[in-house]
Amino acid sequence: MTTVTYSVPAIHCGHCTHTIEMEVGELQGVQSVKADQSTKKVQITFDAPVTEEKIKSLLAEIDYPVEGLINL
């Protein structure tokens, strides 16, 4: 199980966080998604078959591109 936190500056409201949580949550292998409106961060816990690459390309597709990985 891997947890990553991404910086997603395009988040600007509760609709954005909801969309991200719904879309990323549908990827097989994603255990949890928490998108935060005030910090513009998305924390994702996942396992195979999904990969970071797939998560990032989905976020780019839905117009919430990842602009950085935050190492905790």
For Cu ion, the closer CB: 13 or 72: 13
Rounded to whole angstroms, the Cα distance separating 11 from 49 reads 26
* Minimum distance, C-beta of residue 68 to Cu ion, in the bound complex (Å): 19
Report whether 8 contacts 59 (CB < 8 A): yes
For Cu ion, the closer CB: 19 or 45: 19
* Minimum distance, C-beta of residue 17 to Cu ion, in the bound complex (Å): 8
User: Under the rule (CB under 5 A), what is the footprint of Cu ion?
Assistant: 12-13, 15-16
48 CA to centre of own chain:
16
* Minimum distance, C-beta of residue 66 to Cu ion, in the bound complex (Å): 16
